[in-house]
Every structure is written in structure tokens, then in C-alpha cells.
Amino acid sequence: MHIRRVPFDHPDAVKLNDEVQAEYDVRYGDGGDATELAASDFAPPNGLYLVAYDEADVPIASGGWRRQDANEEGNLDGDAELKRMFVTEPARGRGLARRILAALEEDARAAGRVRMVLETGTKQPEAVALYRSSGYDPCDKFGYYRFHAESLCFAKDLRSPRD
């Protein structure tokens, strides 16, 4: 397995995004995540999008972060917002999400971001378990779904103990 930087509008990223949207629709019945995203959101130095490929060069996992600062949706200065973490069903259970998450955290930290934030939902227990086991704690709700009862928000301080 190898991980590549790709634009958010790369065909492989679009394919995986369509798959995660379909999964959101199955879990929540609402047509998928309505958060507005643009390819430019994930363009360095303001973000990054990653796709993992298997040995046959098939895209099997993705995730990205985008720069956020204090805004009307509840973000704080220095935030990096995690988006579209996804692993295809056949590739689950191999640690891909954890590897992508670590790479995204490292990149956001190098870009000067001080906190990684994410929004997930009550019907995604696997995601909640991943984030909690990776050092994320519940935080004040933010973003498009901040008023939804099924929304769960988490944050992790990206500063090293020396900072």
C-alpha cells in the first residue's frame, strides 16, 4: 500500500468521495454530507488531500485537512479540519485510516496549524473509536452540522510539548 498527495478533484479522490457519500446516505438517510468543499480547500499550504492505493494501484482510502480559522461556524484560529476520511469496505481493518490520519496531522502541524478538528456522527462508531484512540477529545461543536443532534466533534492539540 502506498499513499499519494492528490488534488481533491482528482478522479480517484472523486471516486472515493462518491463512495463515502453513499455510505453516509445509508447510515443517516440524508443524501450524504452537505458541507461545502472545494478543491482549493485542500491545496497546500492551506490543506492536503491523500489517497491510499493497494498493490494493484486501486484507490482504497482517502482523507484530507483544510485550514480553518475563527469563523461563524465555531472554528478557532489555527484549526485544521479533517475531512473525508474513508476506507473502502474490503480494505478495512488494516490500519489505513490510522496511517492517513497520522500523515495528515504531521502535514497540518508542519503548516503551522495548532489543532486538528473533525466532525463525525453517532452512526459512525468505528470513526469515533479511531479518533478517541488517536488522542482526540470531544470539543465544542462547529461546522455545518453543529446544531444536529447526531453530530459529534473532536479535537487534538497538534503542538508538541516543547511549544
Give the CATH number, domain containing residue 74: 3.40.630.30
| 90: helix, strand or coil | helix
Residue 148 falls within a domain, yes or no?
no
User: Within a 10 A sphere around the Cβ of 153, how many other Cβ atoms?
Assistant: 18
Residue 160 falls within a domain, yes or no?
no
pTM of the model: 0.94
Residue 163 falls within a domain, yes or no?
no
Per the prediction, the chain carries an average pLDDT of 95
Query: Tens of pLDDT along 6-61?
Result: 999 999 999 999 999 999 999 998 877 888 899 999 999 999 999 999 999 999 99
Residue 36 falls within a domain, yes or no?
yes
CA distance 70 to 39: 21
Residue 77 falls within a domain, yes or no?
yes
Q: What is the pLDDT of residue 30?
A: 81
CA distance 92 to 135: 20
Output the nine-digit C-alpha cell for 36: 461545502
151 close to 141: Cβ distance less than 8 angstroms: yes
Residue that has been written with the C-alpha cell 469496505 in this structure: 89
Per the structure, the complete domain to which residue 65 belongs is given by 2-116
Number of structural domains (the chain) is 1
Residue 121 falls within a domain, yes or no?
no
Reply yes or no on whether the pLDDT at 126 is more than 80. Answer: yes
Q: What is the pLDDT of residue 161?
A: 57
Residue 142 falls within a domain, yes or no?
no
Residue 73 falls within a domain, yes or no?
yes
